[in-house]
Amino acid sequence: MENRLLPVERQLEAYNARDLEAFLNCYAEDCLVEDGVGHVQMQGRDAMRERYANLFANSPNLHCRIMNRIPVGSYVIDEERVTGSMGSEEERHVVAVYLVEDGLIRRVRFLR
């Protein structure tokens, strides 16, 4: 697997296993998480830890399935279907655009 794909694939596996530490270890310490128009939703692993600890603890059936993955330069674009978030039966369609540098996810933008 290509280097830029490794952290993206590992964070997906950790997300589906609800393994918070393995998930966070795929991200740079100062990572940015943005919405579709670039508004910062979270900055840094500590902010991510708080949000994802709550999500993982309250979503026993959480699962993300990749529908399509496109690597472009330092970016990996995943089309995702997420189920089981916070106990919801609803399937969410999400596109995640990951910027990978030095083997870690530096920035992610979620399009919903």
Q: How many structural domains does the chain have? A: 1
List beta partners, residue 93. Answer: 81
> What pLDDT score was predicted for residue 15?
98
Spatial separation of the C-alpha atoms in residues 108 and 112, rounded to whole Å: 13
Spatial separation of the C-alpha atoms in residues 75 and 65, rounded to whole Å: 19
Spatial separation of the C-alpha atoms in residues 108 and 93, rounded to whole Å: 16
Q: Which two tokens stand for residue 50?
A: 């708080």
pLDDT, tens digit (0-9, with 9 covering 90-100), for 32-81 = 999 999 999 999 999 999 999 999 999 999 999 999 999 999 999 999 99
Segments in 18-111 forming alpha helices (H): 20-24, 45-57
Flag whether pLDDT at 2 surpasses 90. Answer: no
Name the pTM for this structure. Answer: 0.95
Under DSSP, is residue 71 helix (H, G, I), strand (E, B) or coil? strand
> At CA 82, angle to CA 80 and CA 72, rounded to 5?
20
pLDDT confidence band for 1 (50 / 70 / 90): low
Q: Which CATH number is 96's domain given?
A: 3.10.450.50
Range of the domain at 54: 5-111
Spatial separation of the C-alpha atoms in residues 79 and 38, rounded to whole Å: 18
pLDDT, tens digit (0-9, with 9 covering 90-100), for 11-38 = 999 999 999 999 999 999 999 999 999 9
